[in-house]
Structure 1
Amino acid sequence: MENIQQFLYYPISELPYVIVALIIAFTVHEFSHAYVAYRLGDPTAKNEGRLTLNPAAHLDLFGTLMIFIAGFGWAKPVPVNHFHFRHRRLSGALVSFAGPLSNLMIAIIFIGLYFTLYRIGLLSNLSESTYSTINQLVNMVVSLNVVLFVFNLLPFPPLDGYRIIEDLAPNDVRVRLIQYEQYGVFLFLILFITPLGDYVFAAIFDRTVPYILNSLVALFQWLFGY
């Protein structure tokens, strides 16, 4: 086990929770891209079988493995044809934002469900091991989805945050973004696989993710009167 653990980002004991959280997060994220694109007039994703909550349609093998090894990964990108949109730029930005937003909504739903189950007393009647399992699963689903929400809104190609900026930018800025996009991808990869990323991403994730998590918990504590 120790030999395997050295290649993993997460402790082996947490892998079952990571797998469940990952399947939920990636599947809903990509489905949301496809659903919003379809509602705005683009049937491309639907025609390619991506308008579904079947994880098999969305999970990328290598991208999934990278989650376990490096702590970040990706699913299969949803195909989008902007020419089907009536308002191409706004629609494109909405489709891009739908993915990260869905991850935030998953976190909110799971926190709300946890507080509801606690309030009505269902959690207090469980055995200690069952309660611990539910608690760890909820924590993993919530934290992973908040991380994906923040991660995907970073302004680096090919992330959703970059696509939003690209769609909403003025024509002259958009042309330059497209021109230098390949270098942006290269810069993003360098930052993620080298210690240089610690100066950029550490400040974002070490502050933003805990702030969002604490804010969501505080919100539900207020709603439930704790």
Structure 2
Amino acid sequence: MSQPIISQKTKKNAAKIGIVLAFIGAKLKLILPLLKAAKFMSFISMIFFLFTYGLTFGWYFAFAILYLLICHEGGHLIAAKRKGLPTSPAFFIPFVGAVISLKEMPKDAVTESYVAFGGPLFGLISILPAIPLYHYTHNEFFGLVIALGCILNLFNLIPISPLDGGRILSVLPPIFWFIGIMLMFVYVFYYPNFIAFYIIFLGIMTFIKRIRESFTLKVINEKIKLYEHTIKQFQFGIFNYQYDIHVKDSFFFPIFEDQKKLEHELHKERYYINNLIGSIDIKIDHTDSEWRSHIDQKIDEIRINKIQPLLKEKESLETYYVTSNRKKWQIFISYILLASCLSLLGFWGYGLIENVIM
């Protein structure tokens, strides 16, 4: 197989083009759900992806990476369908990869892990036919499929959210996400690029959010208490309007300024209550029943617009990551086995094409 050598200059130019195309692709992804022809757009993105890679790195490489991405994303689609989760069609972004979006988020971390596991699992399955084909034909294209497939799926198994590895291990303690962040820092040290830095940023944000769940629950509980107290006041005809309430965005250092953050969050809710009190229409000619009906409407507004969403968020935080130890071990062992298979196969596959990429 005659495959063009990829020079450092070509790689740098491709990376610059990739950043622009990734930005455009991200914008297209935002409007994709609005388009009735979503599947057609997915097909167009696939063709554009193929030609971009073909003209930049050669057609062998382009067809290999496209095949692997279709199988990988197809694994996510099948897993999501088995769990009853609707998805968008796959959308291909040159120099970034392919993405699908869930139209309905998983209700628990076990389901999230299952959907995430489908991608690299089908990625491994997609590599297997290339092994006997290479053995009988000695065509380096099949070696390329093996090596690229292992690299692609192993990278996705790094335990950092939003990569598949981070979502697979979401049922386990967040220390695994911290390990994934460290691994990504090692990666960008040797191969610095925009996408890797962006993944690290998202990973750090997700990690912080996870370890701060106890504080988030505390804030939610305090908000619920505030609104329940307000409802009792309304029921007794007490309306404490405050004239000096103003809300402005502020930054508070996590842990060190948690109490200030809590007070600020409650202050924003008091601002809402203040506006609600100001909207109460007091008329002299109201009868007692009409007045009571008016107040009951305001109480229902608090329950529907504030308390119910807070209770739903609280329930999600308290139950999302809850599962049995047996299930945790099953997921962890499956993850290790999949990563081990891809690693061993990758070392062998890389040796098959080493003379092509050196």
Normalised TM-score (structure 1): 0.55
Unmatched 5+ residue regions in structure 2? 15-54, 193-339, 350-358
Q: How many Å separate the matches in 2 of 1:33 and 1:82?
A: 13
2:105 matches 1:101: no
Q: How does 1:4-153 map to 2 (within 5 A)?
A: 6-8=9-11, 15-43=58-86, 45=87, 48=88, 50=89, 57-60=90-93, 64-65=94-95, 73-79=96-102, 81-83=104-106, 88-115=108-135, 118=136, 123=137, 135-153=139-157
Count residues in correspondence.
157
Q: How many Å separate the matches in 1 of 2:81 and 2:169?
A: 21
1:157-215 CA-to-partner distances (Å, cap 9, x unmatched) read 2210011111x22xxx46x99xx99xx77x67654332398xxxxxxxxx986632467
Partner of 1:211: 344
Corresponding letter in the other structure for 1:76: V
Larger Cα-atom Rg: 2
Corresponding letter in the other structure for 2:189: T
* Alpha-carbon shift at residue 34 of structure 1 (Å): 1.3
Q: Is the 8 A contact 1:33 1:78 kept in 2?
A: no
* Alpha-carbon shift at residue 81 of structure 1 (Å): 2.7
Question: Could you say what secondary structure the match of 1:38 adopts?
Answer: helix
Q: How many Å separate the matches in 1 of 2:120 and 2:153?
A: 5
Unmatched 5+ residue regions in structure 1? 51-56, 66-72, 124-130, 198-206, 217-226
Q: How many Å separate the matches in 1 of 2:65 and 2:6?
A: 24
Q: Is the 8 A contact 1:157 1:188 kept in 2?
A: no
* Alpha-carbon shift at residue 151 of structure 1 (Å): 1.1
Q: How many Å separate the matches in 2 of 1:195 and 1:164?
A: 26
Q: Is the 8 A contact 2:116 2:167 kept in 1?
A: yes
Partner of 2:300: none
Q: Is the 8 A contact 1:30 1:78 kept in 2?
A: no
Q: 1:101 to 1:209 in 2, by over 3 A?
A: closer
Corresponding letter in the other structure for 2:187: F
Corresponding letter in the other structure for 1:192: Y
1:35-87 CA-to-partner distances (Å, cap 9, x unmatched) read 110111112x1xx3x2xxxxxx4311xxx22xxxxxxx43224326344x6xx
Q: Is the 8 A contact 2:64 2:144 kept in 1?
A: yes
Q: Is the 8 A contact 1:157 1:163 kept in 2?
A: yes
Q: 1:2 to 1:30 in 2, by over 3 A?
A: closer
Q: Is the 8 A contact 1:30 1:58 kept in 2?
A: no
Q: How many Å separate the matches in 2 of 1:58 and 1:140?
A: 23
Normalised TM-score (structure 2): 0.37
Q: How many Å separate the matches in 2 of 1:2 and 1:138?
A: 18
**RMSD of Structure 2 on Structure 1 (CA):** 3.9
